[in-house]
Structure formats: C-alpha cells, structure tokens
A and B are shown apart, each in its own frame.
Chain A
C-alpha cells in the first residue's frame, strides 16, 4: 500500500526541547492531518489542515500545510514526557468517491527523556 515519506523515523530528545517532523508526498492533497498514537491505542487526531499555506496550532503543537500541497510539518514546542508516542501524518486526496481515502505517513517515534 502507498505510504507518505515521513521524517525523521525516530527522535530521542530531552524534556523541554522543541521537535520538528515533516511529511512529503509526490501527490497533491486537499487535507493534511496529524495523529498521535500511544501504545495499545488507536490514533488520535491532533491537527487538521485544509488550505495550502495554512498554519494551525493546538496548544504546544503547530502544523503547516505546505504551499505546494505536497508536504506538511508538525512542530512540538517545549516537549514533555507525555509527548512520547508515534506521530503520523496523513493526506486526503479529495472529497467524495475514490478520492475520499486517507494515505498515512510511515510514522515518527518520539521518545522524551525527563
């Protein structure tokens, strides 16, 4: 199945550091989503982006929809131990019918040392 390129694959940081991860695609997307998955749980939606260039924040999280519509990034500021988990980006091609499917990134594993 198709997956988006997400980097880095993993990050090991100290509490209080800022984190940045990104996702790139060869396809143009109309929506970019960022999820966090804790062990044994389903993904939880963090941020949704709907327009090219859009910058959206959710607490310490900030995400941007790339101008080319082929990429997105997620920043986490002042990381804390509970930020540990796997972060996934996902792109939605369009609205309705066959384009109404989500393609996920390969995931970024974040470990935060207190």
Chain B
C-alpha cells in the first residue's frame, strides 16, 4: 500500500458526460501528480500541483482540469468525455520536493470507461 488513495476505483460513464476523480496523497506530501495510461498512448504525465498551485503541465487536454485543495487532496475533472478518454488515471504524491517526480508514490488508479 503506497498510502495514496484514489476514488473511485472504477467509473463507467457515457460520452459527453463529466466526471471527477479524487486523490488523497500520502500524509505530509505536498506534491500531487496526475497521469493517464491508455493502450495506445501508454503512460502520459498530465499535470502536477504543489501545495495548492499548479507546478507543471504535461499532455493535459483543455477538456480536463485539476486542482489541489487546502487539505492537499486533489481532483481531476474530465468533461465532454469521448471514447478515447477511456484509460487508467493515476495519481502520485511526493514529499517536499516541488521540482522532481522522484520518490513519488502512485495510487492504484481509477479505471475510466466511456461508453
């Protein structure tokens, strides 16, 4: 158990809908990272937050957004969903190092299926 909690574990929704994925980082970790894993694109870094502020952006679509709250949990919002958004979405957290992915621990992921 990495200590990173993601909910829900599975999500099935229809095209055009909006969903919110939630991540609780390990206790004390200030950085949260979001990743997408799909069969055709592999693992892709989406976005990083550090202590409530956006720190780095990867291949995140404009239909997607994220935020980190004062209690350090994070949410990834996916809107106007398309079939191609079906994927595993991972959250990871790391301690105080705002600039590195090293020592980041991954959650078990949320499997999103868009039908």
Give A residues with C-beta under 8 Å from B. 1-3, 31, 33, 40-45, 48, 88, 90, 92, 95-107
Contact = CB atoms under 8 A, between A and B. Distances in A.
A105 B58 CA distance: 15
Contact of B57 (A2, A95, A98, A102): A98
Contact of B90 (A42, A90, A101): A42
A72 to B, nearest CB: 14
Of B45, B57, B92, B105, most A-chain CB atoms within 10 Å: B45
B56 A98 contact: yes
Q: How large is the interface on B (under 10, 10 to 19, 20 to 34, 35 or more residues)?
A: 20 to 34
Residue among B100, B108, B109 with most chain A CB within 10 A: B100
Contacts of A1: 41-42, 44, 58-59
Contacts of B57: 98, 101
Contacts of B103: 45, 48
A114 B36 CA distance: 33
Interface in B43-77: 43-45, 48, 55-59
A112 B37 CA distance: 24
Contact of B101 (A33, A42, A105): A33
B2 A42 contact: yes
Contacts of A88: 43
Contact of A43 (B55, B56, B90): B90
Nearest to A50: B102
30 contacts: A1-B58, A2-B59, A31-B100, A31-B102, A41-B108, A42-B2, A42-B106, A42-B107, A42-B109, A43-B90, A44-B2, A45-B104, A45-B105, A48-B103, A95-B99, A95-B100, A96-B56, A96-B99, A100-B55, A100-B56, A100-B100, A100-B101, A101-B45, A102-B45, A102-B58, A102-B101, A104-B42, A104-B43, A104-B44, A107-B43
